[in-house]
Amino acid sequence: MAQLKDRYAAALIEISEESGQLGEYLEQVKAVYDALNRDECVQFLQHPHIPSAAKKQLFTSLFDGKISADIMGFLFLSVDKNRETLLIPALSAYIDMANKKLGRLEANVVSAAALSKQQLSRLQSVLTAKLQKQVEVKHSVDPGLIGGLYIHVDGRLIDCSIRTQLKRLRESMEGGVAT
């Protein structure tokens, strides 16, 4: 299945490059991904008893006039081929492939408290300088971190959270105790 999602994503990359609209298609695919990657949409699209026409109507009502005919055709094809389970993974793979082709990276930043626009901008600048690629920062909040943050970017995890530091301290203390 992983190969098939990559083939679907690669085909969409090829179409977007041929049309000379890789950047525009990337933004459209991100919007489609964000809209469809919700539990209720995933359940609706993957439900075997919901007719294909209803699924296509969902795409039309959500995206008609907002995305290219190529991307809409991709969505319809996934339904026609009964590949709804591959839709979100293929869109995600497309986003990754397109970002690489455009020299961009996406950094997922999770912090214990909301970061200001200025902090996010500074973090983006630092990551862009360190990685020497344009970095887009996506931010979310997890109060369970207690304090600090972690960053997942380009297959790396930078963990500066208090939760992880406390866990390491506890493990080192448990490992050093003689029984």
Q: Is the pLDDT of residue 178 over 60?
A: no
Q: Is the pLDDT of residue 144 over 90?
A: no
Q: Take residue 77 and report the two structure tokens written for it.
A: 């094809």
Q: How far apart are CA 1 and CA 101, in angstroms?
A: 23
Fold of 2-101: Peroxidase; domain 1 (1.10.520)
Percent of all residues in the chain with a pLDDT value above 90, rounded to a whole number: 75
Q: Lowest-confidence range among 21-30, 131-140, 167-176?
A: 167-176
3-state helix, strand, coil in the chain (%, to 5): 65, 15, 20
**CATH class entry, domain 104-176:** alpha beta
Do the beta carbons of residue 163 and residue 145 sit within 8 Å? yes
- What's the chain's length in residues? 179
Domain boundaries, the chain: 2-101, 104-176
Burial of 48 (0-12, 13-18, 19+ CB in 10 A): exposed
Query: pLDDT tens-digit profile of 17-73?
Result: 999 999 999 999 999 999 999 999 999 999 999 999 999 999 999 999 999 999 999
pLDDT category, 179, cuts 50, 70, 90?
very low
DSSP 77: H
- Same topology between domain 2-101 and domain 104-176: no
Helix, strand or coil, per DSSP, at residue 93: helix
Q: How far apart are CA 166 and CA 148, in angstroms?
A: 12
Q: Supply the mean pLDDT for the chain.
A: 92
Give kind and range of the element (H or E) at residue 161.
strand 156-161
The end-to-end CA distance of the chain, in Å, is 49
What pTM value is reported for the model? Answer: 0.72
